Amino acid sequence: MRFATPSASSGECRPGCGACCIAPSISSPIPGMPDGKPAGVRCLQLDEANLCRLFGDPRRPAVCERFDHDPELCGDDRDDALERIEALELAT
């Protein structure tokens, strides 16, 4: 599964989006969340600017490394991304 944080047409994540760190469930342990996180719950490692505190840290779950921009999933803005990822989560 691909998750995403977009920027309309550049093919790169939208800075400060963080939708991938809220909408999907993550089963891997995360510092502060040893059982991972349920869908729709904000990751404890997502900071106030919606950036990952663990970027470059080996404790960052491997699945997070695979978050990638996907125009269909990321939509037009962050709210769009949250809705689309949530819908995908419910469908799978």
Contacts with ligand SF4, residue ranges (CB under 6 A): 21, 26, 30, 43, 45-46, 52, 54, 60-61, 64
Both tokens of 40, joined, read 């729709």
- DSSP bridge pairs for 33: 30
Q: Shortest gap between Cβ of 13 and ligand SF4 (angstroms)? A: 11
CA distances 13 to 4, 34, 36, 59, Å, are: 7, 27, 23, 21
- How far, rounded to the nearest angstrom, does the alpha carbon of residue 67 sit from its chain's CA centroid? 6
CB of 15 to ligand SF4, least distance (A): 14
Q: Of 9 and 14, which has the nearer Cβ to ligand SF4?
A: 14
Select 9 or 54, whichever has its Cβ closest to ligand SF4.
Answer: 54
Shortest distance, position 55 Cβ to ligand SF4, whole Å: 7
What is the token pair recorded at 41? 């719950």
